[in-house]
Amino acid sequence: MTPGCADARRPVAVTVTRNHGASCPEPIRYGGSDQMKTIQKDASPGPTRRDAFRMLAALGVASIPAAPVYARAFGFLRGAGDYRRLKMYSQRTGEHLDIIYWIDGEYIPEAIAEINYFMRDWRENAVQKMDPRNFDNLAAVHNLLDTSEPYLLLSGYRTPRTNALLRRRSRGVAKKSYHIPGMAADITLKSRSIYQIRAAALACKGGGVGLYRRSNFIHMDCGPIRTWRR
């Protein structure tokens, strides 16, 4: 078994911090450095569904059955305490996200909606229903990297107009970017190099993985498996 894939970790906090200074709509509701850190591992078992519900109570979260959607190699997530968690922050909005979005085979709709809102197009303040398979990509890679540091999210959803704007500024932006249908994220970490993140993402085989050396970030999407460097 690959180290870091199935270590059960009990969450210490589940929080969503929004920038209330901005005039942002409510989220859509729907079903369905190269230097390595030494991380202290918690050998305690993962949370039960009841534990997680208590932690999510402040968000008013309730779970309803939904069919899990897996990218190809999500044995990386199975057995990891039967929950999936995302930790991210955005310098653009000043928001932080630390949330369990999947428990015991079920996505939590309200948690998914919070992630959708966090990953919105901040230029146009537009929210998209993101593909949860890419949340699974991000969570699996984070497990493999064995770090407690949250991702820095550089880009999540993009409207077609935002993507066209970025395309005029850089040849590295695809015309039919997977950011537009909500299937991609550009992320980085201070405690891991982009080469380490890329290696973990390639091991998961969950979609496209792009390395952007000059801008120091990794692109991950849940489209066809492929890789590139810029």
Please give the torsion angle defined by the CA atoms of residues 208, 122, 103 and 206, in that order, rounded to the nearest 10 degrees: 0
pLDDT at 37: 26
User: How many Å apart are CA 228 and CA 169, to the nearest integer?
Assistant: 20
User: How many Å apart are CA 51 and CA 6, to the nearest integer?
Assistant: 19
**Mean pLDDT across the chain, nearest whole number?**
76
pLDDT at 8: 31
pLDDT at 19: 57
Banded model confidence at residue 36, pLDDT cuts 50, 70, 90: very low
Banded model confidence at residue 170, pLDDT cuts 50, 70, 90: confident
pLDDT at 172: 79
Q: Which carries the bigger pLDDT value, residue 12 or residue 84?
A: 84
Report, at the CATH architecture level, how domain 15-229 is classified: 2-Layer Sandwich (3.30)
Q: Which carries the bigger pLDDT value, residue 2 or residue 221?
A: 221
Q: Which carries the bigger pLDDT value, residue 39 or residue 153?
A: 153
pLDDT per residue as tens digits for the range 53-104? 455 444 443 332 232 333 444 555 554 458 899 999 999 999 999 999 999 8
Banded model confidence at residue 45, pLDDT cuts 50, 70, 90: very low
Q: What is the pTM of this model?
A: 0.70
pLDDT at 69: 36
Q: From the CA atom positions of the chain, what is the Rg in Å?
A: 17
User: How many Å apart are CA 131 and CA 135, to the nearest integer?
Assistant: 7
Q: Residue 52 is encoded by which pair of tokens? A: 């997680």
pLDDT at 58: 45
Averaged pLDDT, 178-205: 97
Residue whose pair of structure tokens reads 């066209």 in the numeric block: 164
pLDDT per residue as tens digits for the range 97-149? 999 999 988 999 999 999 999 999 999 999 999 999 999 999 999 999 999 99
**Partners of 230 in beta bridges:** none
Is the pLDDT at 158 greater than 50? The verdict is yes
pLDDT at 217: 97
Q: Which carries the bigger pLDDT value, residue 175 or residue 186?
A: 186
Q: How far is C-alpha 188 from the geometric centre of its chain's CA atoms?
A: 11
